């Protein structure tokens, strides 16, 4: 009896990997878009120098009288002792070329404001030279000190005094308004948050949106033209290209604390509001 022969199997076809090629004209467009993207985003990637966390009031721009600093520091200390909320007021002489949203968030995380497990920190930051102010809120307080509530405090309490040239009055009034919100009954705080008008998108939000749009356009162009044949610009070949990571933490000057006061290990995800005058 003849044995049955097995069907002959053809070896699988192996297609050589070819580098992704982009037409020369498109390559120029992509390089231009990349240059624009880098120019827009570069300030956010740069290292910043921050003042030392010398107390609950850090007046690096020297706009507050000594008596005002002492009085305000006392109120913030009482709040921390009573509710563990760590509220710091700071003024800086320069934002060093970045937006107040970026500077405030990075300063907040550099100082580690708020308790580590509660993230209940607040930063009121004023940049007199750029005429900008921001209330940066820790994760744990975003439910009561919402973006809308922070925006209302800035627009109705802080900025009117700033526009009159009375910066100390605006800072003190803004800090007291924040303290009032932090000490509300939780239900009343939620009601105020629900009734506050929506906060406007800051400059930093618009920049990030523009960066996102540019990235989407670049990716779509690469996908659309990537399979083209002929002469062109080689974007890359194979898989596994390495990428560099950006450090968002500052290596800037000044220690994180001095004089026995320091942050509690908290952080912020960018919640809060900004304004200008």
57-201 maps to CATH 3.10.310.50: yes
89 vs 86: CA distance, rounded Å = 10
266 vs 251: CA distance, rounded Å = 18
Torsion of CA 104, 105, 111, 117, to 10 degrees: 140
For position 217, what pLDDT does the model report? 73
What stretches in the chain show pLDDT beneath 50? 200-201, 228-256
For position 229, what pLDDT does the model report? 47
Residue-wise pLDDT tens digits, 58-117: 999 999 999 999 999 999 999 999 999 999 999 999 999 999 999 999 999 999 999 999
For position 1, what pLDDT does the model report? 54
For position 20, what pLDDT does the model report? 53
For position 198, what pLDDT does the model report? 60
Q: How many CB atoms lie within 10 A of CB 124?
A: 27
Instruction: Please work out, in degrees rounded to the nearest 5, the angle formed at the alpha carbon of residue 40 by the alpha carbons of 255 and 28.
Output: 140
If 0-12 CB within 10 Å is exposed, 13-18 middle and 19+ buried, where does residue 172 land? Answer: buried
Residue 107: CA count within 13 A, CB half-sphere? 32
For position 13, what pLDDT does the model report? 66
Instruction: Please work out, in degrees rounded to the nearest 5, the angle formed at the alpha carbon of residue 201 by the alpha carbons of 197 and 203.
Output: 145
Residue-wise pLDDT tens digits, 163-181: 999 999 999 999 999 999 9
For position 194, what pLDDT does the model report? 78
Residue length of the chain: 277
> Looking up tokens 């030279």, which residue turns up?
129
Domain extents in the chain: 21-44+208-231, 57-201
For position 192, what pLDDT does the model report? 76
For position 259, what pLDDT does the model report? 56
H-assigned helices in the chain = 24-45, 66-83, 100-111, 147-153, 159-163, 167-182, 186-195, 203-225
């Amino acid at each position: 009896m003849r044995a049955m022969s097995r069907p002959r199997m053809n070896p699988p076809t192996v297609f050589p990997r070819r580098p992704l090629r982009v037409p020369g004209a498109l390559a120029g467009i992509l390089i231009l878009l990349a240059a624009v993207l880098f120019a827009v985003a570069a300030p956010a990637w740069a290292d910043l120098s921050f003042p030392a966390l010398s107390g609950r009031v850090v007046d690096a721009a020297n706009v507050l009288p000594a008596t005002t600093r002492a009085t305000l520091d006392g109120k913030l200390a009482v709040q921390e002792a009573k509710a563990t909320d760590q509220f710091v007021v700071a003024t800086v002489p320069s934002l060093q070329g970045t937006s107040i949203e970026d500077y405030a968030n990075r300063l907040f995380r550099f100082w580690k404001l708020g308790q580590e497990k509660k993230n209940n920190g607040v930063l009121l930051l004023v940049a007199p030279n750029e005429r900008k102010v921001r209330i940066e809120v820790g994760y744990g307080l975003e439910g009561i000190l919402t973006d809308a509530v922070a925006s209302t405090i800035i627009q109705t309490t802080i900025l009117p005094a700033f526009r009159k040239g009375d910066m100390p009055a605006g800072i003190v009034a803004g800090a007291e308004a924040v303290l009032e919100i932090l000490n509300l009954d939780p239900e009343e705080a939620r009601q105020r948050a629900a009734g506050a008008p929506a906060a406007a998108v800051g400059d930093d939000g618009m920049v990030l949106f523009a960066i996102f749009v540019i990235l989407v356009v670049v990716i779509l162009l690469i996908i659309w033209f990537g399979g083209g044949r002929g002469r062109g610009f080689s974007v890359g070949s194979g898989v596994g290209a390495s990428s560099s990571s950006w450090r968002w933490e500052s290596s800037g000057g000044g220690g994180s604390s001095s004089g026995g006061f320091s942050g509690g290990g908290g952080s912020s995800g960018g919640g809060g509001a900004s304004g200008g005058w």
